[in-house]
Amino acid sequence: MGEDRVWDSLKRDTDERMRKAAPLVKEGKIVAAKDTVALLEAVIRPHDKVNLEGNNQKQADFLAECLCKVDPSKVYGLHMVQSVLALPSHLDVFEKGIAKKVDYSFSGPQAGRLAQFVREGKIELGAIHTYLELFARYFADLTPRVALIVAYEADKEGNLYTGFNTEDTPVIVEATKFRQGIVIAQVNKIVDKLPRVDIPADWVDFVIEAPKPFYIEPLFTRDPALITDTHVLMGMMALKGIYGEYEVQRLNHGVGFFTAAIELLLPTYGEELGLKGKICSYWALNPHPTMIPAIESGWVKAIHCFGGELGMEEYVKARSDVFFIGPDGTLRSNRAFSQTAGHYAMDMFIGGTLQFDKYGNSSTATANRIAGFGGAPNMGCDPKGRRHVTGSWLKCGSEFGMQEQMLGNMPRGKKLVVQMQETFKEKLEPAFLEELDAWKLMKNANLELPPVMIYADDLTHIVTEEGIAYIHKCRTLEERMAAVRAVAGFTAIGLQADEKENAELREKGIVKTPEDLGIDITRANRSLLAAKSIKELVEWSGGLYNPPARFRNW
């Protein structure tokens, strides 16, 4: 039977591409930067699935620019599979007709332009994923034929050092190389000996020393000077009413100012509440500079990082008991593993959002920007495959008001999924709405579903300045909606709240105001923060934290 059939067409095709590229190789696996466009034209074929490495931190920016320069009559119709659409070049490649379709995860700065391209038919949008979901599909129906990746250093055999910013590289290379694909790496420097090998040479086909170091965004640096008294108040509520109440030991924080405030309240208000050692020991988290005071005060046992954070290199290196460090002494981040930890090994996800609807669904989507998801929904959900038990998981599960209707008398735990937002954002935009803007975006961008960051059935707690709604305790949808209204303040949703109903919810412990929690609101003041500026973070770190220039204002 199988005699006529070719069973190694992928390998044969790869060999042919490699032969075409061979004349461009100088020594070992090295290709000169000036030959990069020719290399891409040699190894990429029309309609290939191509991965362009980049996430919310490091970027293969030189390879992205070179991909825009290939001849669109030779290379066209590419299907890009990549974590983020962040650089202008990530969309230019569609404008030029080189790429046609995209499957991705997050598109912060390019979100508006992406929506416009989708409307104009310049981009065919496959799906918007969480990071882990997209990585998973690299091993199923979205395996890259060619991956354009980024590392700090390479040797001439093609071993790579990705170090502090390892991030997505291992998962991309694993999927591509072991399905006969081609891996091209841009590096800052080609050296004789690497500090350590993060990606072995066998898995890399070409290395290029880029004309300038790759771009990194310090996305997780929050200046304590911008934390407000309201952030402090909500942080106090969360610490007392959630962290302390459930004794949450393993968690992930979002990127906003609410959780930055909490990080800076641990050594002060957290200490005062006697929570040290009882909460916040294990984290899936980037090296947030605002964690420095808590780490220095002995709160943290371990942090596994998705990626690096500019300026934190030396601090992390000097705290090897806390971070995951290689034999060379520097951090090894890994987004796929950290997202896995965030999904399965954390008892709580807590972060900010932009909008809630009356049911408690929340989203950061606005009508004209396709921002995507990043990692939040992967961590901000109740992992249905979880089977191991912790105290906070069991407690939250035992309070779940709709459990009996679903499972009868069967006990089960529940992850804490907490969203924080002030009832009114800047410019007096309400955070609680009848309908999320995600519905408008669905129409504008021709999506099949409104892009929801966290669904109401995964959400357990809403924290606003009005109080905490423990919505998982509710027994009916009607009761859940009443709990949402109770913390929605003076928004149109909040104004529908009924005083008697609110009193009942407080009686049942489904809603707790600052007073119910025994929090003195007059203490909600920035003076409670362990550090009030970037400069104070540097001082806490003993000078090890080296903030990027834009955060240095002293």
Partner 1 sequence: MALNELKFEYKNEKSVSIKKEWSHLGVVGSGDMEVLMEKKDLGGAVQVKVVTPVTGFDKVWNLVLEKFIKSSNLGNVSIEINDNNATPVVVSMRLRQALAEANKVNGGEE
Q: Which residues bind partner 1 (CB under 8 A)?
A: 228-230, 233, 422-428, 464-465, 489-490, 495, 521-522, 524
Residue 424 Cβ vs partner 1, minimum distance, rounded to whole Å:
4
Residue 489 Cβ vs partner 1, minimum distance, rounded to whole Å:
6
Per DSSP, helices labelled H in 382-498 are 391-399, 403-407, 438-444, 477-486
Closer residue to partner 1 in complex, CB, 229/328: 229
Give the integer Cα–Cα distance in Å for 390 and 16: 54
Q: Which of 543, 465, 469 is nearest to 506 (CA)?
A: 469
Provide the pairing of β-strand 461-464 with 467-470: antiparallel
Closer residue to partner 1 in complex, CB, 410/428: 428
Residue 485 Cβ vs partner 1, minimum distance, rounded to whole Å:
14
Bridge partners, residue 387, by sequence: none
Closer residue to partner 1 in complex, CB, 272/399: 272
Q: Residue 475 corresponds to which tokens in the numbers above?
A: 């027994």
Closer residue to partner 1 in complex, CB, 233/350: 233
Residue spans of beta strands (DSSP E) within 123-244:
124-128, 146-154, 160-161, 182-190, 206-209
Q: How far is CA 131 from CA 92, 104, 385, in A?
A: 23, 8, 18
Residue 381 Cβ vs partner 1, minimum distance, rounded to whole Å:
28
Closer residue to partner 1 in complex, CB, 208/354: 354
Q: Write the DSSP symbol of residue 474.
A: -
Closer residue to partner 1 in complex, CB, 51/464: 464
Residue 229 Cβ vs partner 1, minimum distance, rounded to whole Å:
7
Q: Which of 51, 33, 336 is nearest to 182 (CA)?
A: 51
Q: How many residues does the chain have?
A: 554
Q: Which of 113, 156, 134, 127 is nearest to 26 (CA)?
A: 156
Closer residue to partner 1 in complex, CB, 409/522: 522
Q: Residue 40 corresponds to which tokens in the numbers above?
A: 């891409």
Closer residue to partner 1 in complex, CB, 5/427: 427
Residue 42 Cβ vs partner 1, minimum distance, rounded to whole Å:
55
Residue pair 404/347 in contact by the 8 Å Cβ criterion: no
Residue 429 Cβ vs partner 1, minimum distance, rounded to whole Å:
9
Give the integer Cα–Cα distance in Å for 154 and 162: 9
Per DSSP, the chain holds a count of helices (H) and strands (E) of 21, 19
Residue 223 Cβ vs partner 1, minimum distance, rounded to whole Å:
15
Q: Which of 198, 218, 376, 187 is nearest to 308 (CA)?
A: 218
Residue 493 Cβ vs partner 1, minimum distance, rounded to whole Å:
13
Residue 495 Cβ vs partner 1, minimum distance, rounded to whole Å:
7
Residue 398: CB atoms within 10 A of its CB come to 12
Q: Could you identify the residue written with the tokens 């979880």?
A: 386
Element of type H or E holding 119: helix 111-119
Residue 465 Cβ vs partner 1, minimum distance, rounded to whole Å:
4
Closer residue to partner 1 in complex, CB, 37/521: 521
Closer residue to partner 1 in complex, CB, 73/522: 522
Residue 326: CB atoms within 10 A of its CB come to 17
Residue 112: CB atoms within 10 A of its CB come to 14
Element of type H or E holding 512: strand 511-512
Bridge partners, residue 348, by sequence: 251, 416
Closer residue to partner 1 in complex, CB, 163/430: 430
Residue pair 510/470 in contact by the 8 Å Cβ criterion: yes
Give the integer Cα–Cα distance in Å for 67 and 44: 10
Q: Residue 71 corresponds to which tokens in the numbers above?
A: 């001849």
The dihedrals phi and psi of 333, each to the nearest 5 degrees, come to: -90, 160
Residue 293 Cβ vs partner 1, minimum distance, rounded to whole Å:
24
Closer residue to partner 1 in complex, CB, 233/379: 233
Closer residue to partner 1 in complex, CB, 178/490: 490
Residue 230 Cβ vs partner 1, minimum distance, rounded to whole Å:
5
CA 222 to chain centroid, in Å, comes to: 15
